[in-house]
Amino acid sequence: MAESKELDEVKEAVGEGKGRRLRPSECRSHMRRTLASEFQGIVDGFVEAAKKGSCPHVKLATELLKPIRKNPSRKNGSFTKILEELDRRKREKARLQAEEGGAK
């Protein structure tokens, strides 16, 4: 019950009050808006905790500073694999024809 009271107090402080509940499709955008508005404070909190020697905060800070992957995260789909195979066969055929033409 205390958790619900605390949650209501936070909602009132943010300005939401006791409005309607969010639909699942709205939860992600609500979370993004909330994080965006509080992002600077969150980062400042991580930095302060990391300066005090908090290992989880230092780990999180270093993970956030890692470069983003540049290669695709998903494997090629079957359509892409087929196109690559057709392209490989076409190049191989052209190479064989060039060799036959040079041998004659």
Domain span at residue 96 reads: 75-104
The answer as to whether 40 is a domain residue is no
Residue 14: which residues within 8 A CB-CB, separation 6 or more? 34
The answer as to whether 86 is a domain residue is yes
pLDDT in tens, 22-36: 788 888 888 888 888
pTM for this entry:
0.37
Contact 28, 21 (CB under 8 A): no
Dihedral (CA of 10, 14, 20, 22) sign? negative
Please give the tally of structural domains in the chain: 1
What six digits make up the tokens of 20? 């309607």
Residue 84 has pLDDT above 60, yes or no: yes
Instruction: Tally DSSP H helices, then E strands, for the chain.
Output: 4, 0
Give the model's pLDDT for residue 86.
94
Give the model's pLDDT for residue 31.
86
Residue 81 has pLDDT above 80, yes or no: yes
The answer as to whether 17 is a domain residue is no
The answer as to whether 4 is a domain residue is no
pLDDT in tens, 47-78: 888 888 888 877 877 787 777 777 666 677 88
The answer as to whether 66 is a domain residue is no
Instruction: Give Cα 63 distance to the centre of its chain.
Output: 13
The answer as to whether 96 is a domain residue is yes
The answer as to whether 46 is a domain residue is no
Contact 35, 42 (CB under 8 A): yes
Tokens 């969150």 label which residue?
42
The answer as to whether 84 is a domain residue is yes
User: Amino acid identity of 9?
Assistant: E
